[in-house]
């Protein structure tokens, strides 16, 4: 039997090989589709802010567009969560991803600000119905033994798409500009290429077997029985989650502008920085489930978040580009390695029939926090990056402390279940 406490060197890879071998056919098709979608949306995430800035829009408008996009996610989250327990997850993924990609494609073709906002809002709303499916899908297609590894692989797949997408998007944008294509048109063409990739990502979902998906046996949540949800658990988890989301909202969604405004980096260089970030995040997220097996989920989450704080402060005060890039990629690896562990723990602590709505609630909280942070960035903080990083550091610190206080004993009830499942599967 493999034991996380002794997993090192060859045993580390043997453990991973064993866990990957437990992934179902449905999971592999799901991961393939997620990779293509993630690659395509990376084009949007990298270039859309730069496109708006090149088109002459100020930071306030850019912040407003991002804020309204996140508000759309918040509005759509609850209906999306309720839908997961009422229709096939496969149908929800295919239908809503198609509509989301179309809306993103139309948004980038619009020249009038109200139309840009309207279609970005619509695209983010439809994308919510896809994103909220991830947690319930993994839970219904896995056992406790490999579950954390599936969540980690899901994040790695998304990041792998980010590595390829960031490098490719920045390169293609620069290539078109050097070929004489105007910057605005270059950004638009490359973003449309990314939208096309996200449409291709729909194809693997058609091969998912609905008959192989475990269906929850409890009563599906509805607006009428919202009061019966496990609110004490959800609220305790929501508070540190909102603090992290607010801090991330001041950093993550504006890092491309940070490197352009502070260091005058070009688009290809920014794409390389983002790809380097994704590479370090892949390493951290792959390591996370092994650390969680050895030290516990909560200890791994809290420790990794606290370790990222010095690097955020480096970003706040340095005027040295190599140091800023090193701090950027290290912070990202440490801060994000806890995400799949947090998702796994939260899904395991909740009732199966509530996992969709729980995912939706946390997506809604994250999106509202990001919308608020985008508003602060553009309207209140006036794109003062030093102040943004300092505030984010305080929010991350508060989140880590509260998460430990609330969940330090939460894993005790889960250990026996995971051990029993492992005994049945691992010789």
pLDDT tens, residue by residue, 356-389: 777 778 878 887 888 788 777 766 666 688 888 9
Confidence of residue 191 (pLDDT cuts 50, 70, 90): very high
Query: Can you tell me the mean pLDDT for 9-32?
Result: 80
Would you state the structure tokens that stand for residue 175, as one six-digit string? 């290539």
Q: Flag whether the pTM goes above 0.85.
A: no
Would you state the structure tokens that stand for residue 331, as one six-digit string? 């912070």
User: Does residue 177 belong to any structural domain of this protein?
Assistant: yes
pLDDT, the chain, mean: 81
User: Does residue 222 belong to any structural domain of this protein?
Assistant: no
Give CA separation, 271 vs 46, 103, 235, in Å. Answer: 7, 24, 37
Measured distance CA(292)–CA(5) in Å, rounded: 10
The total number of structural domains that make up the chain = 1
User: Does residue 166 belong to any structural domain of this protein?
Assistant: yes
Unique residue bearing structure tokens 């709303």? 125
The predicted pLDDT at position 291 comes to: 84
Q: Alpha helix (H) ranges present in 132-201? A: 134-140, 144-178, 183-200
- Are 83 and 92 in contact by the 8 Å Cβ rule? The answer is yes
Query: Can you tell me the mean pLDDT for 16-37?
Result: 86
The predicted pLDDT at position 223 comes to: 52
Measured distance CA(178)–CA(394) in Å, rounded: 42
Instruction: Tell me which of 324-333, 375-384, 410-419 is least confident.
Output: 410-419
What is the domain range of residue 386? 26-211+230-425
Measured distance CA(269)–CA(121) in Å, rounded: 29
User: Does residue 219 belong to any structural domain of this protein?
Assistant: no
**In residues, how long is the chain?**
427
How do residues 263-279 score in pLDDT, each as one tens digit?
Answer: 988 878 888 888 788 78
CB-neighbour burial class of residue 136 (10 A; exposed 0-12, middle 13-18, buried 19+)? buried
Confidence of residue 418 (pLDDT cuts 50, 70, 90): very low
Query: Can you tell me the mean pLDDT for 133-146?
Result: 79
Confidence of residue 397 (pLDDT cuts 50, 70, 90): very high
> Does 296 or 400 have the greater pLDDT score?
400
Would you state the structure tokens that stand for residue 17, as one six-digit string? 């090989």
User: Does residue 163 belong to any structural domain of this protein?
Assistant: yes
Instruction: Tell me which of 69-78, 82-91, 127-136 is least confident.
Output: 82-91
User: Does residue 4 belong to any structural domain of this protein?
Assistant: no
Measured distance CA(385)–CA(69) in Å, rounded: 22
User: Does residue 252 belong to any structural domain of this protein?
Assistant: yes
User: Does residue 67 belong to any structural domain of this protein?
Assistant: yes
Measured distance CA(119)–CA(109) in Å, rounded: 10
pLDDT over 50 at 160, yes or no = yes
Confidence of residue 425 (pLDDT cuts 50, 70, 90): very low
Would you state the structure tokens that stand for residue 379, as one six-digit string? 């309207």
For residue 158, what is the domain's CATH number?
Answer: 1.20.1250.20
The predicted pLDDT at position 192 comes to: 93
Measured distance CA(315)–CA(394) in Å, rounded: 14
305: Cβ contacts below 8 Å, ≥ 6 apart: 244, 334, 335, 338, 396, 399, 400, 403
Packing angle, helices 25-54 and 144-178, rounded to 10:
30
Highest mean pLDDT among 81-95, 150-164, 193-207, 230-244: 193-207
């Amino acid at each position: 039997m493999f034991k996380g406490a002794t997993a090192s060197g060859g045993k580390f890879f043997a453990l991973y090989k064993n866990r990957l071998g437990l992934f179902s056919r449905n999971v592999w098709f799901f991961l393939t589709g997620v990779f293509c979608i993630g690659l395509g949306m990376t084009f949007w995430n990298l270039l859309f802010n730069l496109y708006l800035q090149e088109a002459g829009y100020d930071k306030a408008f850019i912040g407003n567009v991002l804020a309204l996009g996140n508000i759309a996610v918040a509005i759509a989250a609850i209906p999306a969560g309720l839908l997961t327990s009422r229709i096939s997850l496969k149908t929800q993924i295919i239908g809503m991803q198609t509509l989301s990609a179309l809306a993103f494609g139309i948004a980038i073709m619009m020249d009038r600000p109200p139309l840009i906002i309207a279609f970005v809002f619509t695209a983010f709303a439809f994308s919510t119905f896809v994103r909220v499916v991830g947690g319930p899908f993994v839970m219904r297609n896995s056992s406790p033994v490999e579950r954390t590894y599936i969540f980690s692989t899901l994040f790695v797949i998304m990041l792998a798409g980010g590595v390829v997408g960031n490098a490719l998007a920045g390169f293609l944008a620069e290539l078109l500009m050097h070929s004489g294509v105007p910057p605005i048109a270059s950004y638009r063409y490359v973003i449309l290429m990314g939208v096309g990739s996200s449409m291709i990502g729909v194809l693997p979902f058609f091969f998912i077997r609905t008959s192989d998906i475990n269906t929850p046996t409890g009563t599906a949540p509805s607006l009428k029985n919202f009061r019966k949800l496990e609110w004490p658990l959800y609220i305790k988890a929501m508070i540190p989650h909102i603090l992290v989301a607010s801090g991330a909202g001041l950093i993550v969604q504006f890092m491309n502008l940070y490197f352009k405004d502070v260091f005058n980096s070009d688009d290809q260089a920014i794409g390389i920085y983002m790809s380097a970030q994704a590479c370090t995040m892949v390493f951290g997220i792959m390591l996370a489930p092994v650390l969680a097996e050895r030290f516990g989920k909560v200890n791994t989450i809290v420790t990794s978040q606290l370790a990222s704080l010095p690097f955020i402060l480096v970003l706040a005060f340095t005027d040295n580009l190599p140091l800023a890039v090193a701090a950027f990629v290290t912070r990202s690896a440490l801060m994000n390695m806890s995400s799949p562990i947090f998702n796994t723990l939260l899904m395991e602590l909740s009732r199966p029939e509530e996992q969709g709505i729980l995912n939706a609630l946390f997506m809604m909280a994250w999106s509202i926090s990001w919308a608020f942070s985008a508003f602060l960035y553009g309207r209140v903080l006036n794109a003062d990056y030093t102040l943004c990083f300092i505030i984010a550091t305080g929010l991350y610190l508060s989140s880590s402390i509260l998460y430990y206080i609330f969940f330090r004993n939460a894993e005790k009830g889960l250990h026996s279940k995971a051990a029993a499942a492992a005994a049945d599967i691992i010789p």
